[in-house]
A = this chain, B = another copy of it.
């Protein structure tokens, strides 16, 4: 299959590697508005050629959008204007506003809404990794809106990436993504801000950071351009989870302030239940 990948960052680049290596794609055209990213992707062999958007779509069978949510919302309708028999997918961490944006587009059925739940805190084509998606979940949304034969092709593509398919509507996707992914990022960004604020001497952080801190603060290295539009486009769900999160932190604070070791112990033991799940 001939594939266009729009956005040659961590996600687009990692898909390029494994779709080519595992034989799903035989030719990949990369498109990126950032020239450095485009040329790097070509230079390190992620893509076979670099093209302009219209030309790339015309020459390929499947178009993968791997760009931030706000750009996806802007670009997806334009791409659907251009398609004939091409399949179009996106990879964003929010689905509601994207599906809403193209709901009445004449070529809506060429589009399959997907969210491959994989990533690292790094970005750019130099961060692309083989195996990034292996064993992770991919969520398909509102599949009744897509042509069944296109859905079959996209499922096959994610099979080549060894992903576990899950199906839900865009609304439910955004609720769950807020709980399981978006709040983790905010908790980590806020942790980094706290430590940077409190520890004026950065050398102390460097010297003292242990594996535990590294692990909780890892996501705070994630790109602002990617995450800002996610928080904007899933604001209601995120605010609701943030409220609960702040509530739980206040429960800890109260227990610690009152020197109530039974309550602290109880909160920790309840949190420990996560062990059985992940």
- Mark A residues whose CB is within 8 Å of B: 117-121, 136-137, 139, 164, 166, 176-177, 179-181, 183-199, 202, 204-225, 227-229, 231-232, 235, 238-246, 248-253, 256-257, 259, 261, 264-265, 267-278
Q: A198-B241, A243-B253 are in contact. List 9 more A-B contacts (CB 8 A).
A: A119-B212, A176-B204, A176-B208, A180-B208, A181-B213, A183-B191, A184-B217, A232-B261, A239-B253
CA distance A119 to B212 in the complex (A): 8
CA distance A265 to B185 in the complex (A): 13
A180 and B219 form a contact (CB under 8 A)? no
A217 and B259 form a contact (CB under 8 A)? no
Q: Which residues does chain B contribute within 8 Å of A194, judged by CB atoms? A: 179, 183, 241, 244-245, 248
A245 and B199 form a contact (CB under 8 A)? no
This chain: copies in complex: 2
B271 and A220 form a contact (CB under 8 A)? yes
In order of increasing CB-CB distance, the 8 nearest A-B pairs are: A224-B268, A192-B274, A190-B248, A192-B271, A189-B271, A184-B216, A117-B210, A193-B248
- 12 interchain pairs, CB-CB under 8 A: A176-B199, A177-B208, A184-B191, A186-B252, A194-B241, A194-B244, A196-B273, A196-B274, A213-B278, A220-B274, A222-B272, A246-B253
CA distance A269 to B189 in the complex (A): 9
Known contacts A118-B210, A235-B257, A228 near B264 by CB under 8 Å: yes
Q: Which residues does chain B contribute within 8 Å of A257, judged by CB atoms? A: 235, 239
> From DSSP, what is the main secondary structure of chain A's interface residues?
helix
Q: Which residues does chain B contribute within 8 Å of A229, judged by CB atoms? A: 261
| Distance from A86 Cβ to chain B, minimum over Cβ atoms (Å) | 29
Q: Which residues does chain B contribute within 8 Å of A190, judged by CB atoms? A: 187, 245, 248-249, 251-252, 271
B206 and A268 form a contact (CB under 8 A)? no
